[in-house]
Structures are given as structure tokens and as C-alpha cells.
Structure 1
Amino acid sequence: MPKPYPSEFRQRAVAPVRAGKPVTVVAPSLGISEGCLRNWVRQDRIDHDEIAGTTTTENAELKAARKRIRELEREVEILRVAG
């Protein structure tokens, strides 16, 4: 999986599109795909409560919770085998 772009870069990429420039112009000038930029714009709209969806903060919380659940399940399995 490619290394994610920094959030500052994403914000600078989304800003001109939100101001009215077409994705087809902005994306090539930044060296990213149009689909990638469209996804960032969509997520930005979700984060600003303009459209329905899971916000970036909620995604991070869900990821952390799922990781913790996996850890706890492993611990339970270890204790089950040991006991």
C-alpha cells in the first residue's frame, strides 16, 4: 500500500476544488489521480457535515477500537489455552 499523503497536502489539494476549480485540472498539477482527489473532496464534505458519511475522526476511533478488540480477543484465546 502506498504511503498516505500528509493531511496538510490533502487540505491544500482540496481547497482549489472547493473554490470551484475542476478536479481534472487540479489533480494533474499536483501529481495525483483524479479519483484520489475526488475521494479527498468527498471526505472533506463529509467532515464538514455537507453530506452523510463517517467522518475522519470517527474512522480513526473505529480503527482504534477494532485494533483493541483484536488484542483482547488474542488475550482471551491465550488465557483459554493456558487454563
Structure 2
Amino acid sequence: MIELLADNNFGDTRPNALAGPTGLVIILLLVAATIFLIRNMNKRLKRLPESFPNQQVPAMRTEADAPEKTDGDHRPEREDGAEPGA
């Protein structure tokens, strides 16, 4: 009974198994790629100007600029007085 509980059943008993080293290589490659990407992004961000020419800051909207609120049943009128969709 005790031998059954102590049985190694984790799948790592196969001969010539390379799951551990292969996983380590993949993780190291991903870490290296991430480091190079971060360095590249930092270089590009440093080259950006403080502000771009011809860039205007949008003005804040006021209550007067906001569209009128309607009750939801409002339909826009046409210039010729006909019902919309007719």
C-alpha cells in the first residue's frame, strides 16, 4: 500500500526527456526578446519631440456647445415639412 502512494506518476520518468531544458531555452529567448523590444522603444521615445508642430489643444466643451437633450421621441423635421422617411 505504501509503495502505491509513493509511486512517481508525474510523467518525468521517460528516458531522454528534454522538456525542462527546452522550456528553459524558450523562456530565455522570450526574456531576451522582451529586453531588446523595451530598449528599442526607449530609444524611439527619446527621439520624439516634446510637442508636435501644428498640434492644437482641443478646447473644453461647455454646456452651450453640447447638443440639446431630447426625450428620445424627437424626430428631425425636413425642410419641406414632410415626415422623415416619406
Q: Which category describes the TM-score, using the shorter chain as reference length?
A: 0.3 to 0.5
TM-score by length of 1: 0.36
Higher RCO (C-alpha 8 Å, min separation 6): 1
Q: Report the structure number with the largest CA radius of gyration.
A: 2
Whichever structure has more helix as a proportion of its residues is 1
TM-score by length of 2: 0.35
